Amino acid sequence: MLSFEYISDPESLTKLVAQYQQSDLLVLDTEFVRTRTYYAKLGLIQAYDGKTLALIDPVALPDLSEFWTLLSDTKITKLVHSCSEDLEVFARYGQCQPSPLFDSQIAATLSGLGHGLGYAKLVNTFLEIEIDKGESRTDWMKRPLSDAQLQYAANDVYYLYKLYPQLVEKINQANRMEWLLEEGERMTEGRLTPPNEELAYLKIKNAFQLFPQQLAYLKVLATWRLKKALKKDSALGFIVKDHALIALAKKQPKTVVELNQLNDLTEHEKRFHGKDIIKVLQTADLDNLPEAVDVIALKNGYKSSFKEVKNILTLLSEEHEVAVEFIGSKRLIHEFLLWLHHKQPEDKPLLLKGWRGDIVKDALAGINFS
């Protein structure tokens, strides 16, 4: 059984933060719940500096401003594992991001150990310990938390601390510490920027099917939905689903009676949002239509260009012993081809930036797609 401090009062938090401020390394993890909400509900924060393992209760301590200052303290390396969702939590509750950031999953990838290794696999590989993941789907908002929950949470930072020296050795042997820290900076970029309500329509699946006039309707609908979701802290799909917004933009009902005849909306959506939807549709700016969504994946030559880039990256990944999915995922290849197509040399895609650019830019110089 691991020993830990359960932090649930301001005095204990102040003492803990003062100790952590003297540390060079702080291991972090969070436990949260997200079912029907837009934002994750933060249930627990785990932290460990090698001396004190703390489980911090954000339910009992709604003001964690002291703790959040640690994340931006550049004298302290923040160690996490597969931290994308943790970064979202830090942005939401702390309005901050960790710097410098050392992600153990990325360290494993850049060391040639494999792409996307889970925490349990990493612990087993280095420490030959089997981690019990039985509490991973538990309710972290309930109080009191059980002993099993607390031990599970403590394990997540305790063993990650034990892994750290071996990961540092591996990443230094590969001479890729700068790559790792660069990835940490990239992952935190833009996290504190609120979602753009005016561009929400571009994230709706199948928006490319619509003509500019229909997109004008989709634009106001998507903006309305996002605002309502943020205000109610509700998942977007629990307001109105994407396919229903597409149907509304195509058919543009003028009255609630017409809207109720649409099979694309649920009875719940019609009953709770019908009147609002009709009002929103009437606000569409038909004098300033959005541009048609340009889907380059449907253009001639896209598939062959994509395949050519993927083949080049595969060879480079073998040469540099880094998973091809990490050097150039499908999204990064698409972003690169989009950049080529629109000929915007000043706005380089991620594939051509930083350590990735150093590896691939010469090999990709001959790719043409327009």
Domain coordinates in residue numbering, the chain: 5-188, 197-281, 296-360
Look up 29 and say whether it is catalytic: yes
Per-residue pLDDT band for 1 (boundaries 50, 70, 90) equals confident
370, pLDDT greater than 80:
no
pLDDT over threshold 80, residue 133: no
Pick the closest to residue 39 from 30, 26, 47, 27 (CA basis). Answer: 30
Position 47 scores a pLDDT of: 98
The one catalytic residue among 93, 119, 152, 201: 152
Report the share of the chain in percent with pLDDT over 70: 99
Question: Which two tokens mark 58?
Answer: 């954000």
The structure's pTM equals 0.92
Return the CATH number of the domain spanning residue range 5-188. Answer: 3.30.420.10
Whether cis (ω within 30° of 0) applies to the bond prior to 100 is: yes
Q: Does 197-281 match 5-188 at the fold level?
A: no
Determine the average pLDDT of the residues in 258-268.
96
- Residue 119 pLDDT level (bands cut at 50, 70, 90): very high
Beta carbons within 10 angstroms of residue 35's beta carbon: 9
Q: Which pairs with CB-CB distance under 8 Å and at least 24 residues apart come from 253-262?
A: 253/277, 253/278, 253/281, 254/278, 254/281
156 carries an active-site annotation? yes
**pLDDT for 136:** 64
Over residues 169-193, the pLDDT tens digits come to 999 999 999 999 999 999 999 999 9
Average pLDDT over residues 134-151: 87
- Architecture of 296-360 per CATH? Orthogonal Bundle (1.10)
Share of the chain above pLDDT 90, in %: 90
The predicted pLDDT at position 307 comes to 96
Alpha carbons within 13 A on the beta-carbon side of 18: 6
DSSP class of residue 298 equals G
Predicted confidence band of residue 135 (pLDDT cuts 50, 70, 90): low
Give the model's pLDDT for residue 298.
84
Q: 49, 86, 183, 308: which is the annotated catalytic residue?
A: 86
- Where residue 131 falls among pLDDT bands split at 50, 70, 90? confident
Element (H, E) at 53: strand 53-56
In the structure, what pLDDT confidence band is assigned to residue 132 with cuts at 50, 70 and 90?
confident
CATH 3.40.120.10 assigned to domain 197-281? The reply is no
Strand pairing category for 77-80 and 101-103 = parallel
